[in-house]
Each structure stands twice: as C-alpha cells, then as structure tokens.
Amino acid sequence: MRINISRKKIKSSFVGKVEEISGQNLLACYQCGKCSAGCPAVSEMDILPNQIIRYAQLGFKDELLQSKSIWICASCFTCNARCPKGINIAEVIEAIRQILLRKREDHLKIEELSDSEKEDVPPIAMVSSMRKFTS
C-alpha cells in the first residue's frame, strides 16, 4: 500500500475528532508495540493496534475508516492495560468506529443478508446492529 504523509493530513479535523471522541492524546504513543503484542485479535487484523495509533496521528483517515481491524477489535481492553503511556487504544478504535457510524455507515448491511445467514447470526448481534441506527 502506498502511504503519503502530509502536513495537511496531520492537521486535519479527523485527527482532532479521534482525539476528542476518544479523550486520548495520540502523540503520547512512542510505538513500543506492547498493545499489538498482547492483542488476542491481532491475527485477523489488517492494521495492528500500534499502527492504528500511528495512522491516527498521521491523519490516515481513509485507511482507518476502510480497515477491517476497527470491526475485529473486541474491546477487551488488553491493549489499554499494557500501554506504558496510559493510552486507551480501545477508545481510539471505538472513536474511529463512531466516526463511521455517525455517518450511518456500517460494515454490516442487514438487508443484504440472506435468510439463512440471518438464521445463523446471534440475536444479540442483530439487536446491537439495529440499535446503532436509533440515536
């Protein structure tokens, strides 16, 4: 993947919004990697937790909003507990999901599921998915 770093991206409103929603100081991260080393979901992720923080610092909005990782994260908070800088990585990931959900964008489109797929989805997942659209 080609990565373009620019002052414009770093100063973008996306970076400020992630910090505002998450309540975290992204620049506190010094990329030690302890968050990713302890994450139980990392094998399924396309961008690792420490990379998510780096991308957020640099304003890589599109890469983050399109990443699989923000939906794979189980909000288990292992990364939060391991971070030597006290950064709540799970909240940063939640903030990125929120930015998408507030635009009424979701990774799952219930109306596109077949009847047999709907039968396999746990009811709580269906309820949870629909609740995102009631605020």
> How far is residue 112 from each of residues 65, 97, 128, measured CA to CA in Å?
21, 20, 17
| Contact (CB, 8 A) for 124 and 131 | no
Q: Supply the minimum distance, in Å, between the C-beta of residue 27 and ligand SF4.
A: 10
Exactly one of 10, 30, 46, 62 binds ligand SF4 (CB under 6 A); that residue is 30
How many residues touch ligand SF4 under the rule CB under 6 A: the total is: 27
| Contact (CB, 8 A) for 63 and 23 | no
Taking each helix axis from N to C terminus, what angle separates 49-58 and 89-101, rounded to the nearest 10 degrees?
60
Q: Scanning residues 6 to 25, which ones bind ligand SF4 (CB under 6 A)?
A: none
Q: For the window 35-74, what string marks contact with ligand SF4 as x by the rule CB under 6 A? A: x---x-x-------xx--x-------------------xx
Nearest Cα residue to 26 out of 62, 1, 53: 53
Q: Supply the minimum distance, in Å, between the C-beta of residue 12 and ligand SF4.
A: 20
Residue ranges in contact with ligand SF4 by CB under 6 A = 29-35, 39, 41, 49-50, 53, 73-79, 82-85, 87, 89-90, 93
